[in-house]
Structure 1
Amino acid sequence: MKKFLVYTKDYKKELILAIICIEVETVFELIIPMIMADIIDVGIVNRDRGYILWKGFQMVACAAISLWLGILYARFTAACGNGIGAAIRAAEFKKMQTYSFPNTDKFSVPSLVTRLTSDVTTIQNSITNGLRPGFRSPVMLFIAIFLSFKINAALAVVFLIAAPMLGISLFFIVKNVRPLYARMQAAVDYVNRIIQENLAAIRVVKAYVREDYEIAKFEEVNQNLRNNSEKAFSLAVLNMPAFQFVMYVTIISILWFGGNLVAIGGMKVGSLTSFLSYVLQVLNSLMMFSNVFLMFTRSLTSWRRIEEVMEEEPAIKDDLAKDIEMKNGSIRFEHVYFKYKETAKEYVLSDISLDIQSGQTVGIIGPTGSSKSTLVQLIPRLYDVTAGNIMIDGHPIFEFTQRNLRDSIAMVLQRNTLFSGTVRENLLWGKEDATPEEIERACRIACVDEFIGRLEDGYDTELGQGGVNVSGGQKQRLCIARAILKAPRVLILDDSTSAVDTATEARIKEALNKELPGMTKIIVAQRITSIMDADQIIILDDGKINAIGTHETLLKSNEIYRDIYSREGNEPTSDSLDFGDCLRQQQGGNL
């Protein structure tokens, strides 16, 4: 609760005023039954019309004041509840921005979305809807019990039986419903995951005519959510029958014993009416408090899920960082090992040692699943190495702050991402204060200028969510232009020209070498034509470096490279044929 109260500090005024309004309103409501008793026992019995009108005016005044206080309470509570909810969401989202890839891998994306929206809304509703009964019911309970004992102490003993009965039933309900709320929120995570996957891959679903399969898969998780919700709420609503049972038993008991007292003159009718009113208020306050307790139980489950997000420590920190900046962009891997989880049996990358000079163009190629993308993600510290070290400009990579490091590295990921907004707004992600000339230069290098004029509003064309109104090749070129606009020391292109034709790809490479000669360029590719002009080519196989060399040397000496080259429809050179024949002869001799 101490951690939760941190988010209430900016709304203390509204919270205190709301509580004051609730308490004062409750006092005025509790005065009304006493006035009603006076009207019956004095005004009606004595047929004193003036007294009845005066007491009636007092009742109306108390009701009007209670109404006015209720309106003020609603206003203050709305500001407090929504403000605290917004503060928690902002803090949670800010915390998520500090996460590294291992952290986001730990929490599924749909689960993070649920914790940021549904769980916060649960807490927000608990504040908005629970503040009034939470502070009203204790005051009403104690004052009503006090006045009931004042009216007739013998008859008020009934509370000593009714209250424990309600308390015991509430205890058993809460004890069993708490774990069900946790399962229910987890089921919401699963539903969100299926929805997100389906919407993200809707084109694939349509192309493969798998709508029925997706509907069946969604129905399964939806039914799971339904079952968990039914169990939780069917148990929670038992609170109302338990309350009604106790209430009616109490009322019958009071009418029985109270009626006998009235018959023998031990109690007046007005006093019995007032007593019954207080009994109902006591029981109602107990009911309200039990509902608040159930609401609190659910919001506590949500808060624990939010706390998991807030207490998660970023996997990558700047504890050893110094105030240094990247100058040249030279990179050296020194016996680097990496695996995604410490408990994994095998390394994804093993004993990676290589040297990339400043301004070089380096190509990385290899079979599918050889961890090419993983290798380049270690350079901007999207993941930390498990063993070994990466040096940049002669400094260990952990001596750079993450901000300085990533400001100097531009990375076009394998999965291109554009955001809702205009083309210009997406490009300005690379450099917020870029001039029109800088934007046009970056677009010229990335060959965006070939299609930007065909867009409806040019740079001001609105892109749909994820850039759905541009082709895959256009999306890739926009992402490359955005990275170039950043003017980084190191540019990493992770298979980012796969949707571009070879002629356009060649023009992009030529422009990169001509316009940005001092920039270190690392290109991950599936096609040899994408990297054959690189200063050095690294071949990865099963997470290990198989060979390093130029196009010519690898074509002569490396079987994996020749195989990829020939599968692209290229004819092997005479030198490579001679080498291949010799290799086969040597293998045959050994056999």
Structure 2
Amino acid sequence: MKKIFAELKMFRLQLLCVFVSVAAGVGATLGLPTYLSDIVNKGIAGKDMNYILHTGLIMLGIAILGMVCNITTGFFASRIALGLGKNVRSKVFKKVEYFSQAEIDTFSTASLITRTNNDITQVQNFMVMFLRIILTAPIMCVVGILLAYSKNPKMSSILVVSMPVMIFIISLIGRRAMPLSRKMQSKIDRINLIMREKLSGIRVIRAFGTEDYEEKRFDTANKDLMNNAVKMMHAMSLLGPSLILVLNLTVVGLLWRAGQGIRTEPVMPGDILAIIQYVMQIMMSVTMLSMIFVMYPRCAASADRICQVLDTDNSIKNPEQPRQSAGQKGCLTFRDVSFYFPGAKEPAVSHVSFEAKPGETTAVIGSTGSGKTALVGLIPRFYDVQEGEVLVDGVNVKDYDLKDLRRKIGYVPQKALLFKGTIAENIRFGDDSANDERVREAAAIAQSTDFIEDKPDGFDSQIAQGGSNVSGGQRQRLAIARAIVRKPEIYVFDDSFSALDFKTDSALRQALAAETGAATVVIVAQRVSTIMNADRIIVMDEGKVMGMGTHRELLKTCETYQEIVRSQLSEEEMSA
């Protein structure tokens, strides 16, 4: 919570306003019983109507002042809490934006979403209550006790008994409720995880008919969350009635003490009313504080989860003194590169070396899990190598500013992802300065013009979140257009032609060849036909390079490549 409270420094002026309004509001609230006592003791007892009216008007003014102060406190407390939430949410978003895949895998996507939304909302809600109560309750409690004792010390001594009883009840219930409160966020995490998996994998669930299993899985998590919440609510439901009982018994005790002193030290009726009101305000302030203590564990758990994200050290960092390339453009070099996924014992990429120059196409092929995607993911620094080095234009990728490095690369991922917005906006995502002509040119090279123009709004047609309203092949072509539009020095296509038919694949590669003539092209592919004309083919198996050369060279020297080719091409196609 320290890091969260430290964010309040940005709201010093608003905090000052809250403090002033709280102090004035508490003063107004605690001033009313004194005037009420005077009306009873002097106005009513003396039958002085003018005094009653005059004092009543003063009380009305004080009540209005208290109302204005409470509204002001609520306004500034809300502004501070919402501003705090906005700032923390922005920090979390910016932090996650630069996470490597390793950090994202550590937290899980569902958990990061929960931390960014639900956890920060919990902190916001607590902060509103905290700012209103943490100042109000202690002042009201201390000043109320002093005023009650000033009226009649003997009557007010009943608080010596009732206050410890209240504190005991609050601590007893809090001990039960606090652990349950801490568990709430992890159980909400579980709900979000299941929901996200269900929504993203709905087609697979329907295809295999596992709806009943998923419903049971969700119901189990949902019931677990409900049971935890019910237990917490049961504990909390005892708090209000218990405190009201203590409050009523305290009032009875006050009247009993007043009755005992009638013969020896008579107490004025107005003083009895004032002391009862002070005692009620004191005990209500303790009750409000108890709510803060019960809410705190859940807020603290949320704050800890937020701070875990903010305190996570990015494994992919910008160097303190970034370097720039010295004139070269598009040169890519792997020097004895080995890479292990976090926690893995075996390397995903083992001792890989090659050099790709502008105007050349380097293809990577291999079976599933052979390390192809891991290999090309090292170029834009999605991961860092543990051994060897990756050079772009003669400079180690670790020595580049990340933005400068990635500006040189046009990357098309294995799973084409589109964003909510228009088709033009999705293509322009690769280069926001691209004009309409360049967007259309990129779409034409990616063989996307036909299906875009078939849509009623053309390039202004809306794309749903994730590109769910276009086919897999159309998504891939738009993702390719997005890379083309930025005119990078290095193109990286990670199995980006898998959803295309052979005719479109052939046309696209032909158009790409003209566009990427001066650039370095790296293609990961499953289909041999996609890479047959590459200048260099790297054959991978279990993270190792099994062969490297042209198509014809590998047919003679690499057994692994021969097996792949035989499984896809006929004898005539192989010899063509």
Partner residue of 1:331? 332
| 1:504 aligned onto 2:510 | no
CA distance in 1 between counterparts of 2:523 and 2:156 reads 84
Read off the aligned partner of 1:248 and give its amino acid letter.
N
Read off the aligned partner of 1:98 and give its amino acid letter.
Y
Question: Could you tell me whether the CA contact under 8 Å between 1:538 and 1:549 is conserved in 2?
Answer: yes
Question: Could you tell me whether the CA contact under 8 Å between 1:490 and 1:520 is conserved in 2?
Answer: yes
Read off the aligned partner of 1:57 and give its amino acid letter.
L
Residue pairs, 1:364-375, within 5 angstroms: 364-375=364-375
1:295-348 CA distance string (max 9 Å, x none): 23322221111111111111111236523048322222222221111x432222
Partner residue of 1:102? 102
Residue pairs, 1:111-126, within 5 angstroms: 111-126=111-126
Q: Secondary structure at 1:498's aligned position in 2?
A: coil
Q: Secondary structure at 1:522's aligned position in 2?
A: strand
Q: Secondary structure at 1:27's aligned position in 2?
A: helix
Read off the aligned partner of 2:341 and give its amino acid letter.
Y
Partner residue of 1:275? 275
TM-aligned CA deviation for residue 373 of structure 1: 0.6
Question: Could you tell me whether the CA contact under 8 Å between 1:338 and 1:387 is conserved in 2?
Answer: yes
Question: Could you tell me whether the CA contact under 8 Å between 1:483 and 1:491 is conserved in 2?
Answer: yes
Residue pairs, 1:8-23, within 5 angstroms: 8-23=8-23
Read off the aligned partner of 1:195 and give its amino acid letter.
M
Question: Could you tell me whether the CA contact under 8 Å between 1:130 and 1:295 is conserved in 2?
Answer: no
Greater Cα shift, 207-216 or 463-472: 207-216
Q: Which runs of 5 or more residues in structure 1 are unaligned?
A: 577-591
1:361-416 CA distance string (max 9 Å, x none): 01111111112111110111100012222222222221212111111011100111
CA distance in 1 between counterparts of 2:10 and 2:231 reads 38
TM-score (normalizing by structure 1): 0.93
Q: Secondary structure at 1:451's aligned position in 2?
A: helix
TM-aligned CA deviation for residue 493 of structure 1: 0.6
TM-aligned CA deviation for residue 265 of structure 1: 4.4
CA distance in 2 between counterparts of 1:435 and 1:36 reads 75
CA 1:336–1:178 in structure 2 vs 1: closer, same or farther (change >3 Å)? farther
Read off the aligned partner of 2:196 and give its amino acid letter.
Q
Partner residue of 1:494? 494
Q: CA RMSD in A?
A: 2.0
CA distance in 2 between counterparts of 1:262 and 1:94 reads 70
1:445-487 CA distance string (max 9 Å, x none): 1111232211111111111111122111111000000001111
CA distance in 2 between counterparts of 1:80 and 1:301 reads 21
CA 1:574–1:437 in structure 2 vs 1: closer, same or farther (change >3 Å)? closer
| 1:266 aligned onto 2:276 | no
TM-aligned CA deviation for residue 525 of structure 1: 0.8
Question: Could you tell me whether the CA contact under 8 Å between 2:493 and 2:523 is conserved in 1?
Answer: yes
Partner residue of 2:357? 357
Greater Cα shift, 479-488 or 121-130: 121-130
Question: Could you tell me whether the CA contact under 8 Å between 2:181 and 2:295 is conserved in 1?
Answer: no
Residue pairs, 1:487-566, within 5 angstroms: 487-566=487-566
Partner residue of 1:4? 4
Q: Secondary structure at 2:418's aligned position in 1?
A: coil
CA distance in 2 between counterparts of 1:320 and 1:374 reads 26
CA distance in 2 between counterparts of 1:257 and 1:455 reads 86
CA distance in 2 between counterparts of 1:209 and 1:19 reads 60
Question: Could you tell me whether the CA contact under 8 Å between 1:562 and 1:572 is conserved in 2?
Answer: no
1:89-125 CA distance string (max 9 Å, x none): 1111111122111111111111111111111111111
Partner residue of 2:463? 463
Question: Could you tell me whether the CA contact under 8 Å between 1:338 and 1:385 is conserved in 2?
Answer: yes
Residue pairs, 1:147-296, within 5 angstroms: 147-262=147-262, 264-296=264-296
Residue pairs, 1:305-316, within 5 angstroms: 305-316=305-316
Read off the aligned partner of 2:39 and give its amino acid letter.
I
TM-aligned CA deviation for residue 221 of structure 1: 1.4
Q: Secondary structure at 2:467's aligned position in 1?
A: coil
CA distance in 1 between counterparts of 2:320 and 2:547 reads 33
Read off the aligned partner of 2:198 and give its amino acid letter.
N
Partner residue of 2:429? 429
CA 1:498–1:4 in structure 2 vs 1: closer, same or farther (change >3 Å)? same
Partner residue of 2:36? 36
CA distance in 1 between counterparts of 2:552 and 2:34 reads 102
Question: Could you tell me whether the CA contact under 8 Å between 1:23 and 1:136 is conserved in 2?
Answer: yes
Read off the aligned partner of 1:473 and give its amino acid letter.
G
TM-score (normalizing by structure 2): 0.95
Greater Cα shift, 352-361 or 185-194: 352-361
Residue pairs, 1:130-145, within 5 angstroms: 130-145=130-145
1:144-177 CA distance string (max 9 Å, x none): 1011111111222222222223333333444454
CA 1:575–1:139 in structure 2 vs 1: closer, same or farther (change >3 Å)? closer
Question: Could you tell me whether the CA contact under 8 Å between 1:320 and 1:398 is conserved in 2?
Answer: no
1:262-287 CA distance string (max 9 Å, x none): 35543122211211111111111111
Question: Could you tell me whether the CA contact under 8 Å between 2:323 and 2:395 is conserved in 1?
Answer: no
Greater Cα shift, 97-106 or 72-81: 72-81
CA distance in 1 between counterparts of 2:403 and 2:172 reads 52
Read off the aligned partner of 1:257 and give its amino acid letter.
R
CA distance in 1 between counterparts of 2:269 and 2:439 reads 87
Q: Secondary structure at 1:434's aligned position in 2?
A: coil
CA 1:575–1:65 in structure 2 vs 1: closer, same or farther (change >3 Å)? closer
CA distance in 2 between counterparts of 1:148 and 1:320 reads 64
CA 1:469–1:344 in structure 2 vs 1: closer, same or farther (change >3 Å)? closer
Q: Secondary structure at 1:363's aligned position in 2?
A: strand
Partner residue of 1:419? 419
CA distance in 1 between counterparts of 2:313 and 2:485 reads 32
1:414-460 CA distance string (max 9 Å, x none): 11111011011111111111122211221121111232211111111
Greater Cα shift, 520-529 or 158-167: 158-167
Q: Secondary structure at 1:381's aligned position in 2?
A: coil
CA distance in 1 between counterparts of 2:574 and 2:123 reads 73
Partner residue of 1:580? none
Read off the aligned partner of 1:543 and give its amino acid letter.
G
CA distance in 2 between counterparts of 1:90 and 1:443 reads 34
Q: Secondary structure at 1:232's aligned position in 2?
A: helix
CA distance in 2 between counterparts of 1:62 and 1:554 reads 93
Q: Secondary structure at 1:117's aligned position in 2?
A: helix
Read off the aligned partner of 2:136 and give its amino acid letter.
R
CA distance in 2 between counterparts of 1:340 and 1:273 reads 73
TM-aligned CA deviation for residue 528 of structure 1: 0.5
Q: Which runs of 5 or more residues in structure 2 are unaligned?
A: none
Question: Could you tell me whether the CA contact under 8 Å between 2:182 and 2:297 is conserved in 1?
Answer: no
Question: Could you tell me whether the CA contact under 8 Å between 2:25 and 2:69 is conserved in 1?
Answer: yes
Greater Cα shift, 408-417 or 245-254: 245-254
Question: Could you tell me whether the CA contact under 8 Å between 1:372 and 1:540 is conserved in 2?
Answer: yes
Read off the aligned partner of 2:13 and give its amino acid letter.
K
Read off the aligned partner of 1:475 and give its amino acid letter.
R
| 1:386 aligned onto 2:381 | no
CA distance in 2 between counterparts of 1:547 and 1:85 reads 54
1:196-246 CA distance string (max 9 Å, x none): 111112222233332222211111111222223233343344432442343
Partner residue of 2:376? 376
1:473-507 CA distance string (max 9 Å, x none): 11100000000111111101111111111111111
CA 1:19–1:388 in structure 2 vs 1: closer, same or farther (change >3 Å)? same
CA 1:461–1:12 in structure 2 vs 1: closer, same or farther (change >3 Å)? same
Question: Could you tell me whether the CA contact under 8 Å between 2:412 and 2:496 is conserved in 1?
Answer: yes
Partner residue of 1:442? 442
Question: Could you tell me whether the CA contact under 8 Å between 1:409 and 1:491 is conserved in 2?
Answer: yes
TM-aligned CA deviation for residue 2 of structure 1: 5.0
